[in-house]
Structure 1
Amino acid sequence: MKDVSLKLTIAMHYASQGVFLPFLPILLKNHAFSYSQIGTLLAAGAVVGVLTQSLWGYLCDRLQTVKKLLLLQLVASVILSMYIFEINTFANLLVYLTVFYVFFRPLPTMFDTLIIQTISANPARYGHYRMFGSIGFLLTALFSGYFLNWFGLSKGPYLITGLIGLSLLCAVFIQDTNYACQTPRFKDFSELIKQPAILQFLLAATFLGTTHVANDNFISVHLQALGGSLKDTGLLWTVGVTTEILTFAVLSQLNLQGKSLYFLRLVALLYGLRWLLMAFITDVKVVLLIQVLHGICYSLFITMIQQYLVVIIPNQLRATGQGLMYMTVFGLGGVIGMIGGGQLMERFGSSNFYLSCLCFALVSFFTFQRLDKDRV
């Protein structure tokens, strides 16, 4: 039952993301915000991630509980999500979203910590649990497009709040993390982030994470600019997440331990190919086809990162390591991707936006390659 509760909690959280991520940029655009303002509003979450992810993780390790802090975050997220779109001015919305993200943004870190605890004997099973998040995302990305197209974008916030509430309900029944090691000291954390191999790994992953987050936050607007409808937006995410589920399912059956850096180099090249195609393709149907690469790239990327973290992060800093990864890869990378992406889209257009992503992917490839050589 507790194992099922964890899977359902993850599914409900990513189901809320299935509405929040694809349609938030469109909702903001309908509120007459510019591309650069949208980029700044979206980047608020990434900035908060940079400032708080490791802190939440360290608190979990220090207090030796993940569940209690997770429930606190979910309760706050439910309450705050109710009023996000009641605010129409840029400055006020920026402040409100920042407060909301303090609680909502770290949730994937908490879920991944619980997953890693559950699968500690077999890290390859990460994809099995994470697949349920993709299923939740898929269902809402598919049906919310039709729902919002029929009832209007103004109903989007109700979907988001309801799904976060369901995640909270399921989380009540999950099993807390079992810490079988001593409480970490701050000195342990400071020594961890001084290790060159860890810093180089996080740098390489952040370059790639920057492109992923930038695309996630602007692809819906890009598709609309190409003439796509709200249904096309829902279908876009459906295609990507369907391949994500299939890839997670395949990866959970394979034993790829010890090969993480090899596959991270491979996924950097796949991301590069994806951005190259997106830079020049303007046909909506072909863009939907390219989205197949989303699932393959993201599933392989996050699974290999998690497998490598299990190797390089001490057990007593399990949640701290997760927070550090999310802080840099999707936090710092998100800040660069969303603010920089908004500026690129507004000033230079989509083609240059995706060519910039291609350059970042190539830098990531060579950094992973150097890390692998240094390790040998």
Structure 2
Amino acid sequence: MYWRLSNLYFWFFALLGGLLPYWSLYLEGQGFSYLQIATLMATIQLTKIVAPSLWGWLGDRTGQRVRLVRFGAITGSLFFAGVFLEPGFYGLLLVMLVFTFFWNAILPLYEVITLRVLGARKDKYGKVRLWGSVGFVGAVGLVGALLEWLPIEYLPWLLIPVFAGIVVSAFLVPSDRGEPKERAPKGSLKAIVTHPAVIAFFAMNFLLQVSHGAYYTFFSIHLEQHGYGKLSIGMLWSLGVVAEIVLFLFLHRLTKRLSVRQVVLGALVLTMLRWVLIAELTAVIPVLIFAQLLHAASYGVLHAVSVQYVQGFFGKHHHGQGQALYSGLTFGGGGALGAWMSGFLVDGYSTAAAFWGGAAAMVVAVIVTWWGLKPPPDQA
């Protein structure tokens, strides 16, 4: 069961590994402006505002999460094929919106499946999830090496085998017969969402994803402007995820010794440092390597803690909608806003200015966390 759970994480994040580091370079090669690139990259996050909530609601109501994951995998793959029609800016915007609407349904549903299968062994989540990081690293390295030999316009073709892997792995997840519908869910969803600690949690994660807008949209272009080749860019992206893998192996020890608030505050401060270093010392390779190792804090720690935080506050009866809200409000709303804001900063100033904007967002996130974040009931 461990390998069957890990398999979909591997392929899902392998697609991100082939997409995120190189898609902005592909769009630049297609002749799009920085604002157009920011808009197109924002669609990857934008549909997370609606899609996870809708699919999470369907998963909670029907109990058919595995079937919904399979449907999202197949439909998302089919719509991505619209990229090959070379539809221009508005056509590609539509393709990306529809493709990501179905593709973004997969992960929040699968997080619920994984945690329910693990049950009392939820501390093993990190070891399951780390295979997503392995898939990301493998795809970044392989695609980066191929793009040293192939023109960047071949990128969509290189992603086709990864889409096939996602579809196949979705059908390796054991079929579910569906869970009984809850006629009267225990606890009020509104009461949970309006809890001050939950508001602080969502605000912190929203700001975190705003700060990542420059990274996911312009990091590769920023590196290319400083003379790095595509393979070097891929290796730097991979380095951050390798640090994340190591972190997942030891995270359970960290969370047993420190409170949720302490872990989150430490990770936020390190994230702020990361953006400052990338903005100002990109040409200094040892510093850039250190900044990429901090990905273990800016993504690895905060995501793993957040997934379990949602489970602790939302409980069994609202777990799916809780994960959907986490994905939609933070990765969706925060990620899309961060991408657009970084586009304006790059267009008006420079890529470094966009990373300074991310650091400023982290200052606010630290204040919000210090003021309002409290542990969920099962960790209090």
The offset of 1:148, in angstroms, is 1.5
The offset of 1:45, in angstroms, is 2.6
Counting aligned pairs with the same residue, the percent is: 24
The offset of 1:94, in angstroms, is 0.9
2:245 aligns with 245
Report the secondary structure of 1:82's partner residue: helix
RMSD, aligned α-carbons: 2.3
229-238 or 28-37, larger mean C-alpha shift: 229-238
Give me the whole-angstrom Cα distance separating, in 1, the residues matched to 2:133 and 2:314: 26
1:216 aligns with 216
For residues 195-274 of structure 1, what are the structure 2 equivalents within 5 Å?
A: 195-252=195-252, 255-256=255-256, 259-274=259-274
Given that 1:3 and 1:174 are in contact with CA atoms closer than 8 Å, whether structure 2 keeps it comes out as: no
2:25 aligns with 26
State whether structure 2 residue 170 is matched by structure 1 residue 171: yes
Given that 1:114 and 1:176 are in contact with CA atoms closer than 8 Å, whether structure 2 keeps it comes out as: no
Evaluate the alpha carbon distance shift between residue 43 and residue 187 of structure 1 in structure 2; reply closer, same or farther with a 3 A threshold. Answer: farther
Give me the whole-angstrom Cα distance separating, in 1, the residues matched to 2:26 and 2:284: 21
For residues 1-376 of structure 1, what are the structure 2 equivalents within 5 Å?
A: 2-175=1-174, 179=179, 182-183=182-183, 188-252=188-252, 255-256=255-256, 259-283=259-283, 285=285, 286-372=287-373
Report the secondary structure of 2:256's partner residue: coil
Unaligned runs of at least 5 residues, structure 2: none
Give me the whole-angstrom Cα distance separating, in 1, the residues matched to 2:63 and 2:257: 28
The offset of 1:188, in angstroms, is 4.2
The offset of 1:5, in angstroms, is 1.8
The offset of 1:200, in angstroms, is 2.1
The offset of 1:273, in angstroms, is 0.8
Letter in 1 for 2:355: Y
Given that 2:63 and 2:181 are in contact with CA atoms closer than 8 Å, whether structure 1 keeps it comes out as: no
The offset of 1:161, in angstroms, is 2.2
283-292 or 320-329, larger mean C-alpha shift: 283-292
Letter in 2 for 1:278: I
Letter in 1 for 2:160: T
Given that 1:116 and 1:126 are in contact with CA atoms closer than 8 Å, whether structure 2 keeps it comes out as: yes
Evaluate the alpha carbon distance shift between residue 80 and residue 186 of structure 1 in structure 2; reply closer, same or farther with a 3 A threshold. Answer: farther
Report the secondary structure of 1:29's partner residue: helix
The offset of 1:149, in angstroms, is 1.4
- How big is each residue's C-alpha offset from its partner over 1:56-103, in whole Å with a ceiling of 9 and x where there is no partner? 111100111210110000001221222314324111111111111111
Give me the whole-angstrom Cα distance separating, in 2, the residues matched to 1:212 and 1:184: 39
Letter in 2 for 1:352: A
The offset of 1:311, in angstroms, is 1.4
Report the secondary structure of 2:182's partner residue: coil
Letter in 2 for 1:232: S
The offset of 1:282, in angstroms, is 3.2
Letter in 1 for 2:211: T
The offset of 1:314, in angstroms, is 2.1
Letter in 2 for 1:316: H
The offset of 1:271, in angstroms, is 0.4
- How big is each residue's C-alpha offset from its partner over 1:104-138, in whole Å with a ceiling of 9 and x where there is no partner? 12322122122221233133222111100000000
The offset of 1:176, in angstroms, is 5.2
- How big is each residue's C-alpha offset from its partner over 1:229-274, in whole Å with a ceiling of 9 and x where there is no partner? 1111111112111111111111145553882222111111000111
Letter in 2 for 1:167: I
Give me the whole-angstrom Cα distance separating, in 2, the residues matched to 1:374 and 1:27: 42
184-193 or 283-292, larger mean C-alpha shift: 184-193
Letter in 1 for 2:150: F
Give me the whole-angstrom Cα distance separating, in 2, the residues matched to 1:374 and 1:310: 12
253-262 or 150-159, larger mean C-alpha shift: 253-262
The offset of 1:179, in angstroms, is 4.4
The offset of 1:374, in angstroms, is 10
Give me the whole-angstrom Cα distance separating, in 1, the residues matched to 2:139 and 2:148: 13
Letter in 2 for 1:349: S
Report the secondary structure of 1:120's partner residue: helix
Evaluate the alpha carbon distance shift between residue 292 and residue 183 of structure 1 in structure 2; reply closer, same or farther with a 3 A threshold. Answer: farther
320-329 or 245-254, larger mean C-alpha shift: 245-254
Could you tell me the TM-score, scaled by structure 1's length? 0.93
Give me the whole-angstrom Cα distance separating, in 1, the residues matched to 2:263 and 2:30: 41
Given that 1:235 and 1:288 are in contact with CA atoms closer than 8 Å, whether structure 2 keeps it comes out as: no
Letter in 1 for 2:73: L
Report the secondary structure of 1:119's partner residue: helix
Letter in 1 for 2:275: W
Letter in 2 for 1:95: L
Give me the whole-angstrom Cα distance separating, in 1, the residues matched to 2:373 and 2:116: 27
Unaligned runs of at least 5 residues, structure 1: none
